Amino acid sequence: MQRLQIFLILAASIFGFSASVQAQTRSASLMNFSSDGQFVACSNRDSGTVSIVSWPKLEVQHEIAVGLHPEGVAWIGTSHKIACCVYGDDAIAILDADSGKIDRRIDVFDEPYGVVSTQDGHKLYATLEFPGNVVQLDPAAGAVTATWQVGQMPRGVSISRDGRFLMVTEYLTSKVLQISTVDGKVLQTWEGASTDNLARQVVLAPNDQKAYFTHIRSRITSSHGNGSIFPYVSVARLTGEKAGTRMRVPMDSLLGARVTANPWDCDVSADGKRLGVVFAGTNDLYLCRILPDDYVELEYEQGMRLGNNPRAIRFSPDDKALLIYNALDFEIVVLQVPNGVEIARAAVTKNPMSEELLLGKQLFYTALQPMSARSWISCASCHPDGDADGRTWQQPEGLRNTQPLAGLSWTHPVHWSADRDEVQDFEHTIQGLLMQGQGFVKRPLPDALGESFSGKSKSLDALAAYTNSHKSSLSPFAKNGLSKSAQRGQMLFFSASTKCATCHSGPMLTDSQPRAVSDLMRHDVGTGKDDPSELMEPKYDTPTLLGLYRSAPYLHHGKAATLKDVLTQCNPQDEHGVTSHLTASQLDDLVEFLLALPFEDPEPAAKATGLKQVIK
Ligand code: HEC
Ligand code: HEC
């Protein structure tokens, strides 16, 4: 420790890092500098904490417990206060970096992801992924002062120098919105292609003329390792001849044919000349020169291999160093700009998971071997943080909508067709066409429903343990309990007239439970006819209905855009429960109930009922 400190002080004097630059946090990220450059704050999603680290010494001053799944952090104006989005607790925590204490928590409706502050620190703006709001907050009063409906699943947010507008990204469409801070009006939008997906943070260039954001492209027509998922940095142009247009720069052809995966965050240097990007799937950093044109935009300058799952990147205030947050190594690494030489690293939190879950999570997030040969795809490319990617993929067996993984341990067998009975069977996905990885078990692989893979490989068991560990979060539609309408819907759901609960039964609202292959429980609910590419039987595993509020589109083929579509146009013959007799307002009530699931933690009841749980 002593030696590291001396080295850091030496490094600081040689490389001339200074802490004197005044820079406002203009973009939400998991990691940000205080305006005086004295501190870095980073939020530790797994630990549920925010760490305050001194700069350039890199000593952890405080680690503050904030709650479930903290995401974006921003320093408030020029103060030493920090705003942190506590995504899982639906609150913005205001922290004091000097005392290491929480000043207050401001409740927001649901799922705050990104936050920025005005230069004077009087106002904050945060994105609420659900229900698609940007909220304005007064941090001193601890109050939400305005709520604006802006779009679907907003995540990233960046504020202009004059504080007049915000740039916001939509997660599952990668759309970028320019929003007035006066009244929340959407001033301009930059639409993505229908394939563009998973856009998180967005950063504005120092002159506010361009905004940069990372995302992937999900080419759902081919679920194949040779490029179904591609990494991008896109540029939204605010001024000049091409104002209003956007361009995506492919990150898998920036350096020859070298492939990277899951770009997670990027940052522009204070002089506006460079952009750094981290790739959480291949553990890469690319440093790019920003070209002053509207044609090429970015040119590769330098690349570095990082530690596990880099999720945030920030230039030091004087642009001489890059800080990387390796989420699954629980550390910050400092690299010299532009040569990438490592200057320092420091642990910011401890691994809060078991070693097995950590290994499983690292495997789930990596697009490197033994998981994947071509480096484009990781499990997390389609199941980010255990959620679905909102896409329906053309699989060899037919159209298949990506399922969220919440509650999975209670609802084995898995897949829409119940064609896998344990997560270890995803060895078929790893070694198959999609990922083409080396995998963990020697070929030929036994049939997925045949001999068990469990216990054959520590790594595969760890992947299963992590995949099975996702829990469902309570629906925002049931914040104040079930509404009157949802209560009426509940009666209908459990009534003999609709029959819903005959299959969607028990605490997990499904009859899917581990069984012998010979008596697998699947149902033909009339949905198998709508897809000419379908190669399996028209019988499907009953899905859990917990978390429906955020998992559109619906059904195995994703052809129901809304829950109402499931009950109406996708159920013309009353084969999927009985719905044709319901009046319009009864249908609304039923949908209201489905949106409110889960309204309580299902696990205690699942345990009490003796449901079989598969931990790994
Ligand atoms: C290209 C996107 C994609 C990738 C990559 C991917 N999945 Fe999936 N996942 C899907 C789709 C689509 C489904 C639904 C498939 C089906 O039911 O046949 C699914 C279903 C699942 C399910 C079943 C959930 C349930 O409720 O039954 C699990 C578990 C799962 N995936 C785990 C993984 C793991 C582990 C990996 C990495 C080895 C992975 N997935 C990689 C798209 C993907
Ligand atoms: C005979 C068993 C059965 C009955 C009865 C039944 N379901 Fe289903 N449900 C299923 C199966 C199987 C699927 C998957 C079908 C598919 O994806 O094609 C499903 C899918 C769903 C989905 C889509 C879930 C998702 O994640 O996409 C919803 C919503 C749903 N059911 C609600 C209901 C409601 C409401 C009722 C009563 C009106 C009902 N179900 C009655 C078996 C049943």
Q: How far is the CA of 177 from the centre of ligand 1 (A)?
A: 31
pLDDT score of 222: 83
Q: Is 460 in the pocket of ligand 2 (CB under 6 A)?
A: no
pLDDT at position 276 over 90: yes
CA-to-CA distance for 183 and 165, rounded, in angstroms? 10
Tell me which of 395, 400, 504 to substitute to probe ligand 2's pocket, judged by most ligand atoms within 8 Å of the beta carbon.
504
pLDDT digits (tens, 9 = 90+) for 369-422: 999 999 999 999 999 999 999 999 999 999 999 999 999 999 999 999 999 999
pLDDT digits (tens, 9 = 90+) for 295-337: 999 999 999 999 999 999 999 999 999 999 999 999 999 999 9
pLDDT digits (tens, 9 = 90+) for 417-471: 999 999 999 999 999 999 999 999 999 998 999 999 999 999 999 999 999 999 9
Which residue, by CA, sits nearest to atom 37 of ligand 1?
379
Q: How far is the CA of 575 from the centre of ligand 2 (A)?
A: 10
Q: Please, which pLDDT band fits residue 19 given cuts at 50, 70 and 90?
A: very low
pLDDT score of 22: 60
Which residue, by CA, sits nearest to atom 40 of ligand 1?
379
* Contact assessment for residue 482 and residue 559, using Cβ atoms and an 8 Å cutoff: no
Once rounded to an integer, what is the mean pLDDT over residues 230-251?
97
Ligand 1 atom closest to the CA of 419, numbered from 1: 18
pLDDT score of 1: 39
Q: Is 527 in the pocket of ligand 2 (CB under 6 A)?
A: yes
pLDDT at position 15 over 80: no
Percent of the chain with pLDDT over 70: 96
- Taken in order 239, 240, 241, 242, the sign of the CA dihedral is negative
Residue 10: both structure tokens together: 């030496």
Average pLDDT, the chain: 95
pLDDT digits (tens, 9 = 90+) for 147-176: 999 999 999 999 999 999 999 999 999 999
Q: How far is the CA of 503 from the centre of ligand 2 (A)?
A: 8
Tell me which of 392, 503, 540 to substitute to probe ligand 2's pocket, judged by most ligand atoms within 8 Å of the beta carbon.
503
Residue type, 498: T
Closest ligand to C-alpha of residue 379 is: 1
Q: Is 499 in the pocket of ligand 2 (CB under 6 A)?
A: yes
Other C-beta atoms lying within 10 Å of the C-beta of residue 20: 9
pLDDT at position 87 over 50: yes
Residue type, 586: Q
* Contact assessment for residue 531 and residue 417, using Cβ atoms and an 8 Å cutoff: no
Those residues whose C-beta lies under 8 Å from the C-beta of residue 181, and which sit 6 or more positions away, are 118, 123, 125, 136, 159, 163, 164, 165, 166
pLDDT at position 20 over 80: no
Which residue, by CA, sits nearest to atom 18 of ligand 1?
415
Q: Please, which pLDDT band fits residue 115 given cuts at 50, 70 and 90?
A: very high
pLDDT digits (tens, 9 = 90+) for 579-591: 999 999 999 999 9
CA-to-CA distance for 198 and 214, rounded, in angstroms? 8
* Contact assessment for residue 443 and residue 566, using Cβ atoms and an 8 Å cutoff: no
Q: How far is the CA of 261 from the centre of ligand 1 (A)?
A: 17
Tell me which of 414, 525, 548, 567 to substitute to probe ligand 2's pocket, judged by most ligand atoms within 8 Å of the beta carbon.
525
Which residue, by CA, sits nearest to atom 38 of ligand 2?
577
